[in-house]
Structure 1
Amino acid sequence: MLALIVTVRATHVSAQNGWFKRFVQKTISDTTGEGKSSFRIYPTLGYAPETSLEIGLSSLLLFQAKGDTLNRLSEVAAFTFVTLEGQYGIWLDNAIYGDKDKWFFLGRTRFQRFPLLYYGIGHTTPDKEPALIDANYLLFRQRVLRRVMPNFFIGPEIDYQQLYNAEFRQPDDHFYDEPAGSDGTRNIGLGAALVYDNRHNVLNVRKGLFGELSFLKYNQSVGSHYNFQGFNLDVRSSHPLTRRNVLAWQIYGNFFTGNVPFNQMALMGGEMIMRGYYYGRYRDKNMLATQVEHRWLPFGFSKRFGGVVFAGAAVVGPKISSLVPARARLSGGVGLRYLLFRKKDIYLRLDVGFTGDGPGFYLFTGEAF
């Protein structure tokens, strides 16, 4: 999705419009001191073939427990959008650390009415017009983690996903077999997560390691429509090369067994990993992906602007043994960074990812990983 940020400047606002200048200062400028909470709102404007014009509003709450700068920076990010096609959605992400890291709440919530493009299942899906699954989608995933050793957390995890009011629309010139869950599905996963995290700033990691291994089991006995289970792996590491330069890498995997609905399979693409591919362009029960990124934060000739180059590879398959390099897809790209909150070292990112399917555009607050 191509997205452009719309910012407002109040340099020449008249005295009669002082309220507008104060609004801009509170939402765009970075005036809060260290340890103080910070809340910002900024509008976005976007376009995608499946949505037409999109208008959105993003907000970001940053704080440190008890206002102590020795505590990690917590963030709650929200994004809401509406399109000319009548689509809409609300996204909410949280990474909240308690005082002295005793607790860690990590999760995301999604509600949206948005088309899901379906190209089929497997690593060799056809290069033809996809089917369209129009539905309401609700996701709630939350981990409640307790520190048991320095930087090491453990705790329960819940994942609730529901697809309802679903309609599977076949393309005009060919047909897809309708996958499990295409007429709507509800699944509840219960499990646990092990997390190692020594990052201090989740949105812009200049040095640190994050590792997560989680297990979720979905069963009809707790209200799910399907019985399946899976492990999720996420390892991210960032290494400062100089004061401005960071080298980061990530290994990411999903490994499922059972009767997995199409929307909860391992999905390749999106704004986090394999940028440039539509989210779910390739899907199956298993996926292994990796990416590397070099960041200039900021450029040596600028106080606000920076950039990145990145590359990634991923493979999907029905079994772990089918995740072989010969079946991998590649992606790469470049990005522009703008220092949105100087005192908290938070950047706005605009990435362009290139793949065999063409380019993809992404605009978000904070780095992809």
Structure 2
Amino acid sequence: MKNCKRRLTAIILLLPLLVIAQTDTTNYIKKKSTVIFPVVARSIETGFSFGVAASTTFHLSKNDTATRTSNIQALALYSIKQQFVAAIAGAQYTKNESYIFNETMSFSSFPDKFWGLGKYALASNEESYKFQQYYINLQALKNIGHHFFIGSLLEIQNLMAIDYTKGGIFDLDNVSGRHPYFIAGIGGSLTYDNRSNAFSPQKGLFAQVYFNHFDTYLGSDYIYSNVVLDIRKYISLKQKVLALQAYYSGNYGDAIPLRSLASLGGSNRMRGYYEGRFRDKQLITLQSELRFPVYKRLSSVAFGAVGDVGNRLSDFSPFDCKYSYGTGLRFAVNKTERLNIRVDYGFGSKGNSGLYFQLGEAF
């Protein structure tokens, strides 16, 4: 997903202080569980942040034992860098998973950093800027059998304000979207999903390709298309789980607005790099993570990733890419649903590194 969704799973230092227990303790399928907790957070992008988060898990059909658990998560954070993020995201599964609905809605008022475009953007180019943005992403998926789903999607982004250094790298690179803009796109998707769990799968495969087109007939200020391929495989190794992901995001058009460019780094892919340290039209990443129990609700992981950005596919080379690696701890705030708070430390090439505390797995 886009940057706002990644920030929804923003870093968590304090364990839950309040747990609203299941509404029905006699029948697992009828349970509704809500966890509400204060947040003290820190990331490469935000520094320390403070706020509140909540996660609700439930079943839309109380008598359907085969359907995965639905969820809604909410977050509001304010950082010492005067960054504010409020977001809601979730996934709902109807009876027998005939339909799946996914949503992300957020507002961001965010000081950020920019180093220019391309895979060779220099660290010395670093420039600060600020933006305010609304973001909406809605998806509806229809089950067509054998774990396959076809879907439709709507994406809206309204960059209401942006403040940057005039005559700096934004102007020198003639970056699209350095002024306020509105984009809207509609598209479709094809998904295969037989994962055992929505939060932390122990086995199964998730494979999705989606296409989204932004155009003036929808009120968009830019015309371009976005293609995403996301493949995740989960392999059970006795008490351990090996998680694998291949991810591609490509933008096709003459001008791609700033906040829609493919960006390397962040809490979910290429941990250890500042999110957006490298930006361009296209991104490819490969990552793996070994997850294993430690003691009761506590578990640990080791992860590694390679990836890069490029203007076109021919820019990518296995001999010229960036890497990251690291380790982390997990604490189960909802053991039944496998919902974890995670603490990761990632290292990237050329001195990049960062600490992450988050709700939910990276992938």
TM over 0.5, shorter chain = yes
Partner of 2:164: 168
Report if aligned partners of 1:34, 1:343 keep a CA contact under 8 Å in 2.
no
The answer as to 2:326 corresponding to 1:333 is yes
Q: Deviations over 1:191-239 (max 9, x none)?
A: 1011111113111110111111000111122111111112111000100
CA shift, 1:69, in A, is 3.2
Unaligned 5+ residue runs, structure 1?
10-23
Decide whether aligned partners of structure 1 residues 336 and 115 sit closer, same or farther in structure 2, where only a CA change above 3 A counts: same
- Distance of 2:307 and 2:155 partners within structure 1: 24
Decide whether aligned partners of structure 1 residues 186 and 245 sit closer, same or farther in structure 2, where only a CA change above 3 A counts: same
Report if aligned partners of 1:133, 1:182 keep a CA contact under 8 Å in 2.
no
The answer as to 2:133 corresponding to 1:140 is no
- Distance of 2:217 and 2:354 partners within structure 1: 40
What are the residue-to-residue correspondences of 1:261-340 with 2, within 5 Å?
261-296=257-292, 298-299=293-294, 302-340=295-333
Partner of 2:341: 348
Percent identity, aligned pairs only?
29
Decide whether aligned partners of structure 1 residues 8 and 233 sit closer, same or farther in structure 2, where only a CA change above 3 A counts: closer
Q: Deviations over 1:131-160 (max 9, x none)?
A: 222110111111111111121111211111
- Distance of 1:65 and 1:174 partners within structure 2: 47
Partner of 2:33: 38
CA shift, 1:25, in A, is 4.6
Report if aligned partners of 2:307, 2:323 keep a CA contact under 8 Å in 1.
yes
Decide whether aligned partners of structure 1 residues 290 and 80 sit closer, same or farther in structure 2, where only a CA change above 3 A counts: same
Decide whether aligned partners of structure 1 residues 172 and 212 sit closer, same or farther in structure 2, where only a CA change above 3 A counts: closer
The answer as to 2:251 corresponding to 1:256 is yes
Q: TM-score, normalised by structure 2?
A: 0.90
What are the residue-to-residue correspondences of 1:15-30 with 2, within 5 Å?
24-26=18-20
Report if aligned partners of 1:277, 1:360 keep a CA contact under 8 Å in 2.
yes
Amino acid at match of 1:247: L
CA shift, 1:174, in A, is 11
- Distance of 2:116 and 2:320 partners within structure 1: 16
Report the number of matched residues. 350
Secondary structure of the 2:259 match is helix
Q: Which moved more, 1:182-191 or 1:77-86?
A: 77-86
Q: 2:13 aligned to 2, 5, 9, which one? A: 5
Secondary structure of the 1:221 match is helix
Partner of 2:56: 61
Secondary structure of the 2:173 match is coil
Secondary structure of the 1:344 match is coil
Q: 1:245 aligned to 240, 243, 249, which one? A: 240
Decide whether aligned partners of structure 1 residues 187 and 32 sit closer, same or farther in structure 2, where only a CA change above 3 A counts: farther
Q: Deviations over 1:112-146 (max 9, x none)?
A: 10122111110000111522221101111111111
Decide whether aligned partners of structure 1 residues 342 and 32 sit closer, same or farther in structure 2, where only a CA change above 3 A counts: farther
* Larger-gyration structure (1/2): 1
Decide whether aligned partners of structure 1 residues 189 and 338 sit closer, same or farther in structure 2, where only a CA change above 3 A counts: same
Amino acid at match of 2:50: I
Partner of 1:14: none
Higher RCO structure (Cα 8 Å, ≥6 apart): 2
Q: 1:364 aligned to 355, 358, 361, which one? A: 358
- Distance of 1:273 and 1:140 partners within structure 2: 21
Unaligned 5+ residue runs, structure 2?
1-6
- Distance of 2:240 and 2:170 partners within structure 1: 49
